[in-house]
Structure 1
Amino acid sequence: MPTARVVRPPRLLLYLALTALLASVFYVATAGAPASAATSTTISANGSSGGRTFDGIGAISGGGGNSRLLKDYPAAQQSQILDYLFKPGYGADLQMLKLEIGGDANSTDGSEPSIEHTRGVVNCNAGYEFWLAQQAKARNPNIAFYGLAWAAPGWISGGFWSTDTINYLISWLGCAKADGVPVSYLGGWNERGFNADWYINLRTALNNAGYGDVKIVADDSGWDAVDAAASNSAFNNAVSIWGAHYSCNGGDGGNADTCSSDAAAKANGKPLWDSEQGSQDMNTGAPALIRAITRGYIDAKMTSYFNWPLIAAIYPNLPYSTVGLMTAGSPWSGAYSVGANTWATAQVTQFTQPGWKFLDSGSGYLGGSESNGTYVTLKSTNNSDYTTIVETTTASAAQNVTINVSGGLSTGTAHVWATNLNNPSTGASLIHTQDVTPSNGSYTLSVQPGYVYSITTTTGQGKGTATSPASGALALPYSDTFDSDATNTEAKYLSDMQGSFEVRPCANGRSGQCVQQVTPVIPIEWQNDSDAFSLLGDPTWSNYTVKVDVNLQQAGTAELLGRAGTQSRPQGNQNLYKFRVSNTGAWSIVKNYSSGSSTTLASGTTTALGTGTWHTLSLGFQGTTITAMVDGNTVKTVTDSTFLSGQVGIGVVGYQTDQFDNLTITPGTGTAQPPTGPITSGVAGKCLDDNGGSTVNGTAAQIWDCNNTAAQQWTYNGGALQVNGKCLDITGAATANGTLAEIWDCNGGGNQQWVQNGNTLVNPASGRCLDDPGFSTTNGTQLEIWDCNGGTNQQWTLPSA
């Protein structure tokens, strides 16, 4: 018989749930209560203790293009996102913001425009960094700004380490000042080492130009610069702060279990900054983020932390599309996501301020071991308030923490806030768990594994309540004449990958405004070169026709792009189709891969376009049929099933200053369906097989006699190879030769991306090919990745339409 059920009123259920939540997050007791945790730590919050000055927590807008789409968000959602990033007592509450000084070249996820594309012509309205800084300052008037270049305009003579570059940086500071953005810090060349004489000359030039209060940071790479300064007093005197990148172990995207500087850095006496760290998913990266802050001070005496990037306001087919404090890749819908990285940051920024002092007596490892977690204590400039931050992200069990308050610090009520970082959720982020009053200046807390806690005597903290609308695709048809955009700015939704596409008055007798590629020569680059191009639209678009008017301003070739999908690095490595047409009438349809290879599907010659005249290019996709047209006349129809969805784009071959107008995308019918069937091996009679047709994660991907069963019915869709609802996966996302291939839930990871290069299947993340080890013909041999060698054991024929 059914058991009886007790029905509780909803309000009582809510009360019980909240009580359980708080009890699971934190247990607080006065000193003298019996300890129940396996490990106990006593923290000496002694206001008389020595320690370095805290300089603040920041994030990086740049390196590059990662804030681009934020400018095009609807006003309401744009304001909400900005509040979560900068508004005190609401979200990340950033204390510093590092801005890219644009150089017209890609610096990871896009190309940020220069303020000076050609020598002497300065446009302070270029790009969005000053706008972003204005928005940040409006929310937090105390925020500090830091400028750094990744690339530089190509007109600069003498390379980056030149007088021209110094003058360019001073022009940029002038634009910042005119836009009401007071820049406090200036760096050199991101992750490209240093030139001591250049920094000395920069200091002199800044002083002479009235920027004596701007402090120089060097060298935004490693600790080599501070080592060199030990024997170069002029260099040492020119630099105010030593900044290194990814000093917390593992480098780019590392786990930050330990951090390091060097003896010369610690002995130098100037502030040491973690001037770039992060490169982590907005949720799964939160434990490493907080570790880099606490362990960055404990291990390396770094007093500031900058997360890369600020936000992933980029298209989702670009690299690092979930990396940052938040994501905002759907400006047409207004959808965004607040990551756990936001709340990990808030656990520091909402409880401290730049100018506070670290207390070395109150900073260290829980139980003396990095596996238990860490703690840092900081005191306010009023010498009374304090905050102790405890992180337990590497712990496996609950621990007792006793805090002894002395040295003039307040022995009043301490407020406890906590965030679950190892299992992030909105309901377990920045929760005010309890208040406690010390007894004789002491109190004991029980901390749970996987959390960050802030124990503070300050008030004013809070958690934003704005919610995102649902995400949705950009509706078709879509069109833009560019006439409503401000001159010299970027057009709505266009995201530059290389070069700079800006709205300018149309040329050659056409009225209104057009988009023009305005970078006339190759820039001084940070990331490898490619043709100048810009992307727009929704990666889910499938069947459509994209059309644009083009005016070649010089002899050269314009490009119209379609079905642009996964991009890897550098930016020219992207899955897409290109329709290229030159001034002579030479044309081609090219299939480009994210591995960097390309295949010409067709080519020929049509009527010459000439220069200084307007023509219309069109590229249509319906299923596997691709149609290219010039001025309404079909030049070629081809069939190809490799890419079945993706964005559109415009571009030029090289850096011609061509113009584009009247961009339109009209829908086709239905959605292109990828072909499904067996993938045959170069080893005769064998096929790629899902062992036993299993849907269990970790099932071996193997070779087997071709038998046309469900275990061999593969679909190549957007770079993923799918069978039975699962994806072909590289075990553990490893990249080493011999790593096994298996079946796993589809997640879009780099270890599930496969690119056709001839008849090989290349994984761009590892650069290695799907391989049948030892040319085996034995059924059940599990496949692996190996250096690409063109052997028959690396040959695979995909199903055709």
Structure 2
Amino acid sequence: MLLGALGSLATTPDARAATPVQTAVTLDGTKPGLTFDGVGAISGGGGNSRLLVDYPEPQRSQLLDYLFKPGYGASLQVLKLEIGGDTNSTDGAEPSIEHTRGTVDCHQGYEWWLAEQAMARNPEIKFYGLSWGAPGWIGNTGSGGNFWSQDTVDYLMSWMGCAAQHHLNVSYLGGWNERGFNAGWYENLKSALLSHGYGSTKVVAADDTWAVADAMATDPAFRNAVDVVGVHYPCGYLGNFTNCPSTPTAQGLGKPLWASENGSEDANDGAGAVARGINRDYLDGRMTSFINWPVIAALYPNLYFSTDGMSIANQPWSGAYTIGKTTWVTAHTTQFAKPGWRYIDAASGYLGGARTNGSYVTLKSANTTDYSTVVETVDATAAQTASFTVTGGLSTGAAHVWSTDLGSTDPSQWFVHTQDVTPKNGTYTLTLQPGRVYTVTTTTGQGKGTATPPPAAPMALPYADDFETPATTTSPTYFTDMNGAFQTVPCGGGRTGTCLRQMAPTSPIRWTDEKHDAPYTIMGDGSWSNYTVSADTLFEQSGGVELLGRVNQQGRNNNGLNAYHLRFSDTGAWSIDKSDTAWNFTTLASGTTTAPGTGHWHTVALSMQNTTLTASIDGVAVGSATDASFTNGQAGLGVAGYQTHQFDNFKLTPGTPATHTGPIASALPGKCVDGNSGAGGTAVQLWDCNGGGAQVWTWSNGTLTHNGKCLDVTGAATANGTPVELWDCNAGANQQWTPQPDGTLKSTQSGRCLDDPGFATTNGTRLAIWDCNAGANQRWTLP
């Protein structure tokens, strides 16, 4: 156990209640501790960084600075990259560098670009590669594909070669994310790294549970092959991260122990958990690196983990973004200590000896002069004091105090330099308020970025992409793949120019378990309602293509999608189908037209006007259906299986806006949404349904208006509990709402739902936004 020197505590209940907790910490530079390996984050585990590369300047550079620039924002020290496998790996699929055996393309995907940008800002950053899936040719001599094969080792060596081409030094390499381990395979991986000249790259195993440590303890060859024991969610998954243990066996290996994936927390509401976890990983489990999943929420709001990461960046067309509180919680460590510093065990522990008071860890510089102590009081309920005595060669100069108020929604209260204290006779005392993160340090050079984003705005229609204008990567602008790999290539079928092709020819080794795993890619604004999506298509072989419309909520790990599909086969068969978040398909209309065959271009279009859905082939309407399941959503392209069909001239044409007027009824009986006076700034509230003018709303093209004012998320904020109000209509994304099939009304900007707090039924209860949960307090019947 790691103990600081604790002050005396009162023993009677009354005294405990009256006496503030006091903790005495001796900062002794001669005392031992393990080497700090850094705090980082993960780009990958499926598509979470995808939209960042499509942001305009200067917003793209601003976001990158907030992630990687030292002394500016999160100042990340490790960047873990997904090694793409053409398969869904949570909220998207990342492309492989080798779709078919022997054909390596080192320019696939956006991870190389992101790594280069990170290194340009911080040349000392460490890179770490890990696979979630793998292209289908790997191990295909076995039954159904085998990740634990020599093919995979060879594939990883090709990926390492690509990293070298991009002038990236990969410091760490793992196996298969959260899919166990094969000891012999890791031994082969280590041998391959050595024989290919990558001897400095350390092997991490197994990016799963502590079971790998038990296996290593009884297998010397396996133990020798592994340099770092990396486990996922040692503090528990989606919890508060109050307790973060490892195991005695793991600690007995003499290897660095890492939380090689932690987090999965909201960019703002999860900050407290991350603050606990960064400290408590070391205190409880002797883990020397905390790697947050994911690095940024640069993905569409209809995806399951759409608000997790350091920040939220889901509107590349407007440039809008929000810097999450988690950025600043992370900065409390990364801006004040570098990899290679060492913990001081004797100056690390729990305030007053109790977890509920908070925790503290101290790190010292390599020259044993500077130090930084990171303190969190997330669970504390009262102010407490901590006295620090500096000795053992550490600097007795001024200590600089930085603070983040976790209870505040005001960014000006996050990561603030609050005071400097000069030790007297080597000692100083601080008052620690509850619900804070503090750093006390002798270092300088810290800072808080000042860049601000433009306001959010919906993506306007019409929109077209002929794929001739090169994007930053091989993925076309705004398109995010959910399975397979859609890449711009020279057109086939006798057409000149550039087209979009699905590149994965066989089913990959998968990480997710969705029952429908056909490749598709989506793009755009979830508030779109009435529009036509069309594209030219080329069948390279027998199979089918899809146009997707009103793409709405996706199930977790792509286990379903609320959307309409126009399916068209090379045989001439067509159908209009709808899918749900369990991948149940319902055919709404179907038929057969002239078979297009293969090798020729044809134009396919799906029109959605109110409840009427119309399919057209080569400009001729072939059929229609009526369905009211989905009123809004994005567009997309897909193929029926792992086939290499092509697309060109993608177009989105607006229809006639739908307008409906009437009350908005809550699923809580007898309650309606009430606009009160209708003036700008008026709180929107819950009230008994009465048919009065204060309850008349107009729904049109993703907005709700009352007396000419829009339903607005106050201040364009995204945090849980942000109230809604009436405000002048300005086309901001905080005034755009997407109805969901479950009856919820999702804010386009934040991905959170209109919520009646606490299921209250009292007249005048102010409505807010909150994580979507489909409770009766979040279900509404629109006019």
- The alignment's TM-score, normalised by the length of structure 1, stands at 0.83
* Cα displacement (A) at 1:534: 0.2
Matched, 1:599 2:586: yes
* Cα displacement (A) at 1:178: 0.6
What is the identity, as a one-letter code, of the residue corresponding to 1:313?
A: A
- Which one of the candidate residues 287, 307, 323 is aligned to 1:302? 287
User: C-alpha separation between the residues in 2 aligned to 1:281 and 1:678?
Assistant: 29
Q: 1:672 to 1:230 in 2, by over 3 A?
A: farther
Corresponding residue of 1:84: 66
Decide whether the 8 Å contact of 1:730 with 1:751 is kept in 2: no
User: C-alpha separation between the residues in 1 aligned to 2:508 and 2:769?
Assistant: 36
- Which one of the candidate residues 655, 663, 666 is aligned to 2:642? 655
Corresponding residue of 2:523: 536
User: C-alpha separation between the residues in 2 aligned to 1:330 and 1:389?
Assistant: 34
Corresponding residue of 1:30: none
SS in 2 for 1:747: strand
Matched, 1:278 2:263: yes
User: C-alpha separation between the residues in 1 aligned to 2:113 and 2:300?
Assistant: 20
User: C-alpha separation between the residues in 2 aligned to 1:636 and 1:692?
Assistant: 41
User: C-alpha separation between the residues in 2 aligned to 1:345 and 1:677?
Assistant: 41
Matched, 1:169 2:156: yes
Corresponding residue of 1:690: 669
Decide whether the 8 Å contact of 1:563 with 1:577 is kept in 2: yes
Decide whether the 8 Å contact of 2:549 with 2:633 is kept in 1: yes
Decide whether the 8 Å contact of 1:573 with 1:593 is kept in 2: yes
What is the identity, as a one-letter code, of the residue corresponding to 1:537?
A: G
What is the identity, as a one-letter code, of the residue corresponding to 2:619?
A: G
- Which one of the candidate residues 16, 38, 41 is aligned to 1:56? 38
Alignment of 1:430-469 (within 5 A): 430-469=415-454
Matched, 1:257 2:239: no
Corresponding residue of 2:123: 141
Corresponding residue of 1:717: 739
User: C-alpha separation between the residues in 1 aligned to 2:370 and 2:491?
Assistant: 61
SS in 2 for 1:590: strand
* Cα displacement (A) at 1:671: 3.5
SS in 1 for 2:218: coil
Q: 1:87 to 1:784 in 2, by over 3 A?
A: closer
Matched, 1:644 2:644: no
Corresponding residue of 1:586: 573
Q: 1:181 to 1:122 in 2, by over 3 A?
A: same
User: C-alpha separation between the residues in 2 aligned to 1:460 and 1:231?
Assistant: 47
Matched, 1:207 2:186: no
User: C-alpha separation between the residues in 1 aligned to 2:741 and 2:395?
Assistant: 59
SS in 2 for 1:690: coil
Decide whether the 8 Å contact of 2:603 with 2:618 is kept in 1: yes
User: C-alpha separation between the residues in 1 aligned to 2:770 and 2:421?
Assistant: 46
Matched, 1:509 2:494: yes
Matched, 1:470 2:455: yes
Decide whether the 8 Å contact of 1:565 with 1:576 is kept in 2: yes
* Cα displacement (A) at 1:37: 6.3
Corresponding residue of 1:186: 173
What is the identity, as a one-letter code, of the residue corresponding to 2:579?
A: N
Decide whether the 8 Å contact of 1:714 with 1:722 is kept in 2: no
* Cα displacement (A) at 1:640: 1.4
Q: 1:443 to 1:36 in 2, by over 3 A?
A: farther
Q: 1:324 to 1:784 in 2, by over 3 A?
A: closer
Corresponding residue of 1:773: none
- Which one of the candidate residues 244, 253, 266 is aligned to 1:268? 253
SS in 1 for 2:625: strand
Judge which range, 471-480 or 364-373, deviates more. Answer: 471-480
SS in 1 for 2:52: helix
Q: 1:53 to 1:483 in 2, by over 3 A?
A: same
- Which one of the candidate residues 361, 378, 397 is aligned to 2:363? 378
* Cα displacement (A) at 1:311: 0.3
% of aligned pairs identical? 53
Corresponding residue of 1:238: 225
> CA deviation digits over 1:95-147, x for unaligned, max 9?
11000000000101100000000000000000010110000000000000000
> CA deviation digits over 1:262-295, x for unaligned, max 9?
0111111111001000011100101100110101
* Cα displacement (A) at 1:597: 2.1
User: C-alpha separation between the residues in 2 aligned to 1:360 and 1:749?
Assistant: 39
Decide whether the 8 Å contact of 1:701 with 1:728 is kept in 2: no
Q: 1:570 to 1:410 in 2, by over 3 A?
A: closer
Judge which range, 183-192 or 482-491, deviates more. Answer: 482-491
SS in 2 for 1:579: strand
- Which one of the candidate residues 480, 500, 511 is aligned to 2:465? 480
Gaps of 5+ in 2: 1-16, 676-682, 700-737, 760-764
Decide whether the 8 Å contact of 1:547 with 1:663 is kept in 2: yes
User: C-alpha separation between the residues in 2 aligned to 1:665 and 1:43?
Assistant: 63
Judge which range, 529-538 or 184-193, deviates more. Answer: 529-538
Q: 1:486 to 1:256 in 2, by over 3 A?
A: closer
What is the identity, as a one-letter code, of the residue corresponding to 1:330?
A: Q
Corresponding residue of 2:299: 314
Q: 1:551 to 1:280 in 2, by over 3 A?
A: same
Corresponding residue of 1:44: 26
- Which one of the candidate residues 336, 340, 343 is aligned to 2:328? 343
Aligned residue pairs, count: 703
Corresponding residue of 1:495: 480
SS in 1 for 2:536: strand
What is the identity, as a one-letter code, of the residue corresponding to 2:492?
A: A
User: C-alpha separation between the residues in 1 aligned to 2:658 and 2:197?
Assistant: 60
Matched, 1:67 2:54: no
* Cα displacement (A) at 1:244: 0.5
Superposed CA RMSD in Å reads 3.1
Gaps of 5+ in 1: 1-34, 680-687, 734-742, 754-782, 786-795
User: C-alpha separation between the residues in 2 aligned to 1:278 and 1:584?
Assistant: 48
> CA deviation digits over 1:466-496, x for unaligned, max 9?
0001111111111011012269811111110
Q: 1:466 to 1:710 in 2, by over 3 A?
A: closer
Matched, 1:620 2:607: yes
Corresponding residue of 2:105: 123
Q: 1:504 to 1:670 in 2, by over 3 A?
A: same
User: C-alpha separation between the residues in 2 aligned to 1:544 and 1:784?
Assistant: 31
Judge which range, 489-498 or 422-431, deviates more. Answer: 422-431
What is the identity, as a one-letter code, of the residue corresponding to 2:301?
A: P
Decide whether the 8 Å contact of 1:312 with 1:324 is kept in 2: yes
* Cα displacement (A) at 1:404: 1.0
- Which one of the candidate residues 759, 764, 769 is aligned to 1:747? 769
User: C-alpha separation between the residues in 1 aligned to 2:630 and 2:770?
Assistant: 16
User: C-alpha separation between the residues in 1 aligned to 2:296 and 2:619?
Assistant: 41
* Cα displacement (A) at 1:784: 12
Q: 1:639 to 1:180 in 2, by over 3 A?
A: same
* Cα displacement (A) at 1:732: 7.8
SS in 2 for 1:371: helix
Q: 1:689 to 1:43 in 2, by over 3 A?
A: closer
Decide whether the 8 Å contact of 1:645 with 1:672 is kept in 2: no
Corresponding residue of 2:7: none
User: C-alpha separation between the residues in 1 aligned to 2:316 and 2:329?
Assistant: 25
What is the identity, as a one-letter code, of the residue corresponding to 2:100?
A: T
Corresponding residue of 1:327: 312
What is the identity, as a one-letter code, of the residue corresponding to 2:772?
A: G
Corresponding residue of 2:703: none
Decide whether the 8 Å contact of 1:675 with 1:799 is kept in 2: no
What is the identity, as a one-letter code, of the residue corresponding to 1:156?
A: I
* Cα displacement (A) at 1:678: 8.8
SS in 2 for 1:202: helix
* Cα displacement (A) at 1:497: 0.5
SS in 1 for 2:574: strand
Corresponding residue of 1:684: none
User: C-alpha separation between the residues in 2 aligned to 1:148 and 1:442?
Assistant: 46
Q: 1:149 to 1:672 in 2, by over 3 A?
A: farther
- Which one of the candidate residues 206, 224, 235 is aligned to 1:248? 235
* Cα displacement (A) at 1:595: 3.4
Q: 1:701 to 1:323 in 2, by over 3 A?
A: farther
